[in-house]
Every structure is written in structure tokens, then in C-alpha cells.
């Protein structure tokens, strides 16, 4: 049973549209992350948050933005989708401290046409 939820699971959208990918967790974790992953490939960190009102960009340059108004909610927004944004987007959370693994959501597979 998932403790971190992502919606939608699949999304096909036209170029130029604005989209928001939702991520919510029920574990009370302070740390949350967004990763981009092409099928079978490594994960690239695009945004992370240490807590409410804390957001930072990750290693991968991204045209997306995030917000963290509530502990449990960490949505990712693309203001103007492009075909190059086609990918899988994974949300994760972890407990405080340095020695905890991540709990991942099932991902949103985005296709921009």
C-alpha cells in the first residue's frame, strides 16, 4: 500500500500547455524530491525540499517549478510543456537524518506531443 501518491499516472498533453504533477505523502516526511527518469535509465534530481517553504533546484536543469506549502504536498509545475519534457517523473520522500532511504511514488509518465 503506497504511502506516497502521484497523479496522474499517465498524461498526454499538447505543446505549450501548463501542467501540474501532484505528489502527496502521508508519512510526515520533511524531505521530498522530484526525479526525472527515462525508461531503465538513471534518476536525475530536478527539485528537492527540506520542509515547508523550502525548495531547491537539483542537478538537472529543469524548466519546472515546485512549491511546498504543506508538509505532505509537493506539486511540480511545467508552465509550457515541450516534447523534450517527455519522460517519467518520480516523487520521493525521506525521513530526517542522513541514513534513510527514499520512499518513491509510482511516477507520472508524461508525453508531450
Query: Which residues of the chain form contacts with other proteins (CB under 8 A)?
Result: 31, 35, 40-43, 45, 48, 50, 56, 90, 92, 98-99, 101-107
Provide, rounded to whole angstroms, the least separation between the CB of residue 77 and other proteins: 20
Nearer residue to other proteins within complex by CB, 71 or 79 = 71
Residue 58 Cα distances to 33, 43, 46, 55, 83, angstroms: 9, 11, 4, 10, 21
CB 103 within 8 A of CB 27: yes
Provide, rounded to whole angstroms, the least separation between the CB of residue 13 and other proteins: 20
Nearer residue to other proteins within complex by CB, 30 or 72 = 30
CB 86 within 8 A of CB 72: no
Nearer residue to other proteins within complex by CB, 56 or 63 = 56
Q: Other CB atoms closer than 10 Å to residue 106's CB: what's the count?
A: 14
Nearer residue to other proteins within complex by CB, 44 or 73 = 44
Provide, rounded to whole angstroms, the least separation between the CB of residue 16 and other proteins: 28
Return the C-alpha cell found at 78.
511545467
Amino acid at each position: 500500500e503506497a504511502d506516497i501518491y502521484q497523479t496522474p499516472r499517465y498524461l498526454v498533453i499538447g505543446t505549450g500547455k501548463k501542467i501540474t504533477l501532484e505528489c502527496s505523502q502521508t508519512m510526515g516526511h520533511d524531505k521530498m524530491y522530484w526525479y526525472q527518469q527515462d525508461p531503465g535509465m538513471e534518476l536525475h534530481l530536478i527539485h528537492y525540499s527540506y520542509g515547508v517553504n523550502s525548495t531547491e533546484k537539483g542537478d538537472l536543469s529543469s524548466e519546472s517549478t515546485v512549491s511546498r506549502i504543506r508538509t505532505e504536498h509537493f506539486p511540480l509545475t511545467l508552465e509550457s510543456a515541450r516534447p523534450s519534457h517527455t519522460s517519467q517523473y518520480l516523487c520521493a520522500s525521506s525521513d530526517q537524518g542522513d541514513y534513510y532511504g527514499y520512499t518513491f511514488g509510482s511516477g507520472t509518465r508524461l508525453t508531450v506531443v
